[in-house]
Structure 1
Protein backbone atom coordinates (compact mmCIF):
# COMPACT_ATOMS: atom_id res chain seq x y z
CA UNK A 1 0.00 0.00 0.00
CA UNK A 2 1.33 3.41 -0.97
CA UNK A 3 0.45 6.36 1.25
CA UNK A 4 0.25 10.01 0.28
CA UNK A 5 0.80 12.89 2.68
CA UNK A 6 -1.09 16.09 1.90
CA UNK A 7 -0.43 19.42 3.59
CA UNK A 8 -2.64 22.41 2.79
CA UNK A 9 -1.47 25.86 3.87
CA UNK A 10 -4.00 28.68 4.08
CA UNK A 11 -3.01 32.37 3.80
CA UNK A 12 -4.37 33.13 7.30
CA UNK A 13 -1.87 30.79 9.00
CA UNK A 14 -4.02 27.68 9.25
CA UNK A 15 -2.81 24.30 8.00
CA UNK A 16 -4.33 20.87 7.34
CA UNK A 17 -2.42 17.59 7.08
CA UNK A 18 -3.69 14.21 5.92
CA UNK A 19 -1.95 10.86 5.38
CA UNK A 20 -4.01 8.46 3.28
CA UNK A 21 -3.73 5.82 0.53
CA UNK A 22 -6.29 7.75 -1.56
CA UNK A 23 -5.15 9.26 -4.85
CA UNK A 24 -4.80 13.06 -5.26
CA UNK A 25 -7.76 13.25 -7.66
CA UNK A 26 -10.16 12.24 -4.89
CA UNK A 27 -8.50 14.03 -1.94
CA UNK A 28 -7.47 17.45 -3.25
CA UNK A 29 -11.06 18.67 -3.85
CA UNK A 30 -11.86 17.82 -0.20
CA UNK A 31 -9.01 20.02 1.02
CA UNK A 32 -10.34 23.24 -0.52
CA UNK A 33 -11.78 24.51 2.76
CA UNK A 34 -11.03 23.92 6.42
CA UNK A 35 -14.55 22.52 6.92
CA UNK A 36 -13.73 19.10 5.53
CA UNK A 37 -15.55 16.00 6.74
CA UNK A 38 -12.51 13.75 6.48
CA UNK A 39 -12.05 12.10 9.88
CA UNK A 40 -8.29 11.51 9.69
CA UNK A 41 -7.45 15.17 9.01
CA UNK A 42 -5.11 17.05 11.33
CA UNK A 43 -5.73 20.79 11.81
CA UNK A 44 -3.49 23.51 13.18
CA UNK A 45 -1.51 26.63 12.47
CA UNK A 46 1.86 27.43 10.92
CA UNK A 47 4.38 30.23 10.79
CA UNK A 48 7.25 31.06 8.48
CA UNK A 49 10.73 31.73 9.81
CA UNK A 50 13.80 33.02 8.01
CA UNK A 51 17.13 32.12 9.57
CA UNK A 52 20.36 34.08 9.44
CA UNK A 53 21.52 31.73 6.66
CA UNK A 54 18.60 33.05 4.56
CA UNK A 55 16.78 29.69 4.64
CA UNK A 56 13.00 29.86 4.94
CA UNK A 57 11.47 27.34 7.30
CA UNK A 58 7.87 26.42 8.06
CA UNK A 59 6.89 25.39 11.59
CA UNK A 60 3.46 23.90 12.27
CA UNK A 61 1.56 22.57 15.27
CA UNK A 62 -1.32 20.30 14.33
CA UNK A 63 -3.89 18.24 16.22
CA UNK A 64 -6.63 15.79 15.36
CA UNK A 65 -10.09 17.28 14.90
CA UNK A 66 -11.98 17.44 18.18
CA UNK A 67 -14.74 14.87 18.33
CA UNK A 68 -17.75 15.22 20.56
CA UNK A 69 -18.05 11.91 22.39
CA UNK A 70 -21.58 10.99 23.37
CA UNK A 71 -22.05 9.96 26.98
CA UNK A 72 -22.22 6.22 27.41
CA UNK A 73 -25.07 5.53 29.82
CA UNK A 74 -25.21 1.81 29.09
CA UNK A 75 -22.54 0.90 31.65
CA UNK A 76 -22.85 3.78 34.08
CA UNK A 77 -23.33 1.50 37.10
CA UNK A 78 -20.24 -0.58 36.46
CA UNK A 79 -16.95 0.50 37.97
CA UNK A 80 -14.56 1.31 35.19
CA UNK A 81 -10.86 1.93 35.29
CA UNK A 82 -10.52 5.64 34.55
CA UNK A 83 -8.75 6.37 31.29
CA UNK A 84 -6.13 9.07 31.59
CA UNK A 85 -7.24 11.83 29.24
CA UNK A 86 -4.59 13.49 27.13
CA UNK A 87 -4.20 16.05 24.37
CA UNK A 88 -1.98 15.05 21.47
CA UNK A 89 -0.30 17.44 19.05
CA UNK A 90 2.27 17.05 16.31
CA UNK A 91 5.07 19.56 15.77
CA UNK A 92 6.44 19.72 12.24
CA UNK A 93 9.44 21.61 10.85
CA UNK A 94 10.01 21.91 7.10
CA UNK A 95 12.60 23.78 5.05
CA UNK A 96 11.54 25.52 1.84
CA UNK A 97 13.85 24.63 -1.08
CA UNK A 98 14.05 24.76 -4.85
CA UNK A 99 14.32 21.77 -7.16
CA UNK A 100 15.30 21.66 -10.79
CA UNK A 101 14.10 24.73 -12.66
CA UNK A 102 11.33 25.55 -10.21
CA UNK A 103 11.98 27.87 -7.30
CA UNK A 104 10.74 27.18 -3.79
CA UNK A 105 8.54 24.23 -4.73
CA UNK A 106 9.86 21.66 -2.26
CA UNK A 107 9.60 21.19 1.51
CA UNK A 108 12.24 19.06 3.23
CA UNK A 109 11.52 17.56 6.66
CA UNK A 110 13.74 18.91 9.44
CA UNK A 111 11.64 18.04 12.50
CA UNK A 112 8.66 15.89 13.46
CA UNK A 113 7.55 15.15 17.02
CA UNK A 114 4.48 14.14 19.00
CA UNK A 115 3.58 15.97 22.22
CA UNK A 116 1.17 14.29 24.64
CA UNK A 117 -0.11 16.44 27.52
CA UNK A 118 -1.91 14.57 30.29
CA UNK A 119 -4.87 16.59 31.56
CA UNK A 120 -4.76 15.25 35.12
CA UNK A 121 -1.13 16.24 35.79
CA UNK A 122 -0.35 18.81 33.10
CA UNK A 123 2.76 16.78 32.31
CA UNK A 124 3.92 16.66 28.68
CA UNK A 125 5.75 13.74 27.06
CA UNK A 126 7.60 14.45 23.81
CA UNK A 127 8.49 11.78 21.26
CA UNK A 128 10.74 13.02 18.45
CA UNK A 129 10.70 10.99 15.24
CA UNK A 130 13.97 10.31 13.46
CA UNK A 131 13.99 12.04 10.11
CA UNK A 132 15.23 9.45 7.62
CA UNK A 133 14.62 8.45 4.00
CA UNK A 134 11.02 7.53 4.87
CA UNK A 135 10.36 11.28 5.20
CA UNK A 136 10.53 12.08 1.51
CA UNK A 137 10.33 15.75 0.46
CA UNK A 138 6.94 17.28 -0.21
CA UNK A 139 6.37 19.07 -3.50
CA UNK A 140 3.98 21.97 -3.98
CA UNK A 141 1.01 21.63 -6.26
CA UNK A 142 -0.80 24.91 -6.66
CA UNK A 143 -4.51 24.75 -5.97
CA UNK A 144 -6.46 27.17 -8.09
CA UNK A 145 -9.68 28.37 -6.54
CA UNK A 146 -12.40 30.12 -8.43
CA UNK A 147 -13.91 32.99 -6.55
CA UNK A 148 -17.27 34.17 -7.81
CA UNK A 149 -18.13 37.80 -7.29
CA UNK A 150 -21.80 38.71 -7.31
Structure 2
Protein backbone atom coordinates (compact mmCIF):
# COMPACT_ATOMS: atom_id res chain seq x y z
CA UNK A 1 0.00 0.00 0.00
CA UNK A 2 1.41 3.41 -0.96
CA UNK A 3 0.13 6.94 -0.53
CA UNK A 4 1.53 10.47 -0.53
CA UNK A 5 1.08 12.92 2.32
CA UNK A 6 2.19 16.48 2.90
CA UNK A 7 4.98 16.99 5.42
CA UNK A 8 5.40 19.76 7.96
CA UNK A 9 7.41 22.86 7.21
CA UNK A 10 10.15 23.99 9.55
CA UNK A 11 10.38 27.58 10.75
CA UNK A 12 13.36 28.18 8.44
CA UNK A 13 11.70 26.85 5.30
CA UNK A 14 10.56 29.36 2.73
CA UNK A 15 6.93 29.72 1.76
CA UNK A 16 7.56 27.98 -1.56
CA UNK A 17 9.09 24.80 -0.09
CA UNK A 18 6.62 21.98 0.48
CA UNK A 19 7.77 18.66 1.84
CA UNK A 20 5.96 15.54 0.60
CA UNK A 21 6.39 12.03 1.91
CA UNK A 22 5.73 8.78 0.10
CA UNK A 23 4.39 6.40 2.74
CA UNK A 24 4.64 2.70 1.95
CA UNK A 25 3.41 -0.09 4.18
CA UNK A 26 2.46 -3.72 3.82
CA UNK A 27 -0.52 -5.76 4.99
CA UNK A 28 0.40 -9.33 5.93
CA UNK A 29 -2.22 -11.97 6.64
CA UNK A 30 -1.05 -15.40 7.70
CA UNK A 31 -3.46 -18.33 7.69
CA UNK A 32 -2.54 -21.25 9.93
CA UNK A 33 -4.00 -24.76 9.76
CA UNK A 34 -7.06 -25.24 11.93
CA UNK A 35 -8.66 -21.87 11.17
CA UNK A 36 -6.26 -19.53 13.03
CA UNK A 37 -5.27 -16.24 11.32
CA UNK A 38 -2.91 -13.33 12.02
CA UNK A 39 -2.74 -9.87 10.40
CA UNK A 40 0.03 -7.28 10.68
CA UNK A 41 0.38 -3.81 9.14
CA UNK A 42 4.02 -2.71 8.92
CA UNK A 43 6.36 -0.48 6.95
CA UNK A 44 9.32 -2.74 7.76
CA UNK A 45 11.06 -5.12 5.36
CA UNK A 46 8.65 -7.92 4.34
CA UNK A 47 11.30 -10.60 4.85
CA UNK A 48 11.78 -9.56 8.46
CA UNK A 49 8.06 -9.38 9.24
CA UNK A 50 7.32 -12.80 7.72
CA UNK A 51 9.96 -14.38 9.97
CA UNK A 52 8.26 -12.85 13.02
CA UNK A 53 4.88 -14.29 12.03
CA UNK A 54 5.80 -17.96 12.53
CA UNK A 55 3.86 -18.62 15.75
CA UNK A 56 0.09 -18.93 15.79
CA UNK A 57 -0.29 -17.57 19.34
CA UNK A 58 2.21 -14.71 19.63
CA UNK A 59 3.78 -12.13 17.34
CA UNK A 60 6.42 -9.60 18.33
CA UNK A 61 5.28 -7.01 15.81
CA UNK A 62 3.42 -4.13 17.42
CA UNK A 63 -0.27 -4.04 16.53
CA UNK A 64 -0.55 -7.69 15.46
CA UNK A 65 -4.12 -8.98 15.31
CA UNK A 66 -5.21 -12.58 15.84
CA UNK A 67 -8.42 -14.36 15.03
CA UNK A 68 -10.20 -17.12 13.18
CA UNK A 69 -11.04 -17.73 9.52
CA UNK A 70 -13.41 -19.95 7.58
CA UNK A 71 -13.77 -20.64 3.87
CA UNK A 72 -17.26 -21.12 2.44
CA UNK A 73 -17.33 -21.88 -1.31
CA UNK A 74 -15.05 -19.18 -2.78
CA UNK A 75 -15.46 -16.65 0.07
CA UNK A 76 -13.03 -16.33 2.98
CA UNK A 77 -14.45 -14.94 6.24
CA UNK A 78 -12.05 -13.70 8.90
CA UNK A 79 -12.60 -12.16 12.35
CA UNK A 80 -9.57 -10.54 13.98
CA UNK A 81 -9.03 -8.93 17.39
CA UNK A 82 -6.19 -6.78 18.63
CA UNK A 83 -4.20 -8.41 21.39
CA UNK A 84 -5.24 -7.23 24.84
CA UNK A 85 -2.79 -4.96 26.66
CA UNK A 86 -1.63 -6.02 30.12
CA UNK A 87 -2.98 -2.86 31.76
CA UNK A 88 -6.44 -1.48 30.96
CA UNK A 89 -5.88 1.21 28.34
CA UNK A 90 -7.77 4.38 29.08
CA UNK A 91 -7.16 7.76 27.56
CA UNK A 92 -7.82 10.82 29.66
CA UNK A 93 -7.58 14.58 29.63
CA UNK A 94 -7.49 17.04 32.45
CA UNK A 95 -10.22 19.52 33.22
CA UNK A 96 -10.05 22.44 35.60
CA UNK A 97 -8.95 21.76 39.17
CA UNK A 98 -7.12 18.58 38.08
CA UNK A 99 -10.25 16.45 37.94
CA UNK A 100 -9.71 13.53 35.58
CA UNK A 101 -12.12 12.67 32.77
CA UNK A 102 -11.63 9.12 31.51
CA UNK A 103 -12.59 8.03 28.02
CA UNK A 104 -13.55 4.46 27.27
CA UNK A 105 -11.26 2.68 24.80
CA UNK A 106 -13.38 0.04 23.05
CA UNK A 107 -12.49 -3.53 22.20
CA UNK A 108 -12.48 -3.84 18.43
CA UNK A 109 -13.23 -6.74 16.12
CA UNK A 110 -12.18 -6.55 12.48
CA UNK A 111 -14.53 -8.43 10.16
CA UNK A 112 -12.95 -9.19 6.78
CA UNK A 113 -14.44 -10.93 3.77
CA UNK A 114 -12.54 -11.83 0.59
CA UNK A 115 -13.35 -13.48 -2.73
CA UNK A 116 -10.83 -16.17 -3.67
CA UNK A 117 -10.08 -15.79 -7.39
CA UNK A 118 -7.32 -15.95 -9.94
CA UNK A 119 -5.38 -18.77 -11.55
CA UNK A 120 -4.98 -21.59 -9.00
CA UNK A 121 -7.04 -19.47 -6.57
CA UNK A 122 -4.03 -17.40 -5.49
CA UNK A 123 -5.61 -13.93 -5.12
CA UNK A 124 -7.90 -12.46 -2.48
CA UNK A 125 -10.20 -9.64 -3.54
CA UNK A 126 -11.82 -7.50 -0.85
CA UNK A 127 -15.55 -8.07 -0.41
CA UNK A 128 -16.33 -6.46 2.99
CA UNK A 129 -14.35 -4.75 5.73
CA UNK A 130 -16.15 -3.84 8.95
CA UNK A 131 -14.93 -2.71 12.36
CA UNK A 132 -17.10 -3.51 15.37
CA UNK A 133 -16.28 -1.42 18.47
CA UNK A 134 -17.60 -2.73 21.80
CA UNK A 135 -17.65 -0.32 24.74
CA UNK A 136 -17.64 -1.26 28.42
CA UNK A 137 -21.15 0.17 28.93
CA UNK A 138 -22.54 -2.43 26.50
CA UNK A 139 -22.99 -0.20 23.46
CA UNK A 140 -21.60 -1.22 20.08
CA UNK A 141 -20.69 0.72 16.95
CA UNK A 142 -20.26 -0.82 13.50
CA UNK A 143 -18.11 1.04 10.96
CA UNK A 144 -18.15 -0.10 7.34
CA UNK A 145 -14.99 0.72 5.40
CA UNK A 146 -15.49 1.94 1.83
CA UNK A 147 -13.54 -0.47 -0.36
CA UNK A 148 -12.13 0.62 -3.67
CA UNK A 149 -9.35 -0.93 -5.73
CA UNK A 150 -6.90 1.94 -5.18
CA UNK A 151 -6.98 1.98 -1.39
CA UNK A 152 -7.49 -1.75 -0.86
CA UNK A 153 -5.72 -3.66 -3.64
CA UNK A 154 -6.08 -7.41 -3.91
CA UNK A 155 -3.86 -9.67 -1.81
CA UNK A 156 -1.67 -12.30 -3.44
CA UNK A 157 -0.90 -15.64 -1.80
CA UNK A 158 2.76 -16.29 -1.19
CA UNK A 159 3.88 -19.77 -0.15
CA UNK A 160 5.50 -20.05 3.26
CA UNK A 161 8.92 -21.63 2.85
CA UNK A 162 9.62 -22.22 6.54
CA UNK A 163 6.81 -22.71 9.00
CA UNK A 164 8.77 -22.94 12.25
CA UNK A 165 12.38 -22.78 13.32
CA UNK A 166 11.75 -25.42 15.98
CA UNK A 167 9.15 -28.05 16.69
CA UNK A 168 6.81 -27.80 19.68
CA UNK A 169 5.95 -31.49 19.63
CA UNK A 170 7.33 -34.69 18.09
CA UNK A 171 6.97 -34.78 14.30
TM-score range normalised by the length of the shorter chain: 0.7 to 0.9
User: Residues 123 and 60 of structure 1: is their aligned pair in 2 closer, same or farther, counting only changes over 3 Å?
Assistant: same
CA distance in 1, matches of 2:71, 2:136: 30
Deviations 1:23-59 (A, max 9, x none): 2111111111122111211111111112xxxxx1111
**Aligned residue number for residue 87 of structure 2:** 69
**Aligned residue number for residue 59 of structure 1:** 77
User: Which of 83, 96, 107 is 1:87 aligned to?
Assistant: 107
TM-score between the two structures when normalised by the length of structure 2: 0.72
Is there any run of 5+ residues in structure 1 with no aligned partner, and where?
Answer: 51-55, 72-77
Larger radius of gyration: 2
TM-score between the two structures when normalised by the length of structure 1: 0.82
Say how many residue pairs are matched.
Answer: 136
Note the C-alpha offset of 1:70. Answer: 7.2
Deviations 1:66-121 (A, max 9, x none): 110179xxxxxx6421322421111100111114xxx111000000011111111x
- Alignment RMSD (CA, Å): 2.1
User: Residues 113 and 80 of structure 1: is their aligned pair in 2 closer, same or farther, counting only changes over 3 Å?
Assistant: same
Secondary structure of 1:27's aligned partner: helix
Is there any run of 5+ residues in structure 2 with no aligned partner, and where?
Answer: 1-22, 90-97
Note the C-alpha offset of 1:124. Answer: 1.1
User: Which of 128, 148, 151 is 1:132 aligned to?
Assistant: 148
Secondary structure of 2:51's aligned partner: helix
CA distance in 2, matches of 1:84, 1:106: 38
Segments ≥4 residues shifted beyond 3 Å:
146-150
**Aligned residue number for residue 139 of structure 2:** 123
> Does the CA-based 8 Å contact 1:41-1:65 persist in structure 2?
yes
Structure with more contact order per residue of length (Cα contacts < 8 Å, sep ≥ 6): 1
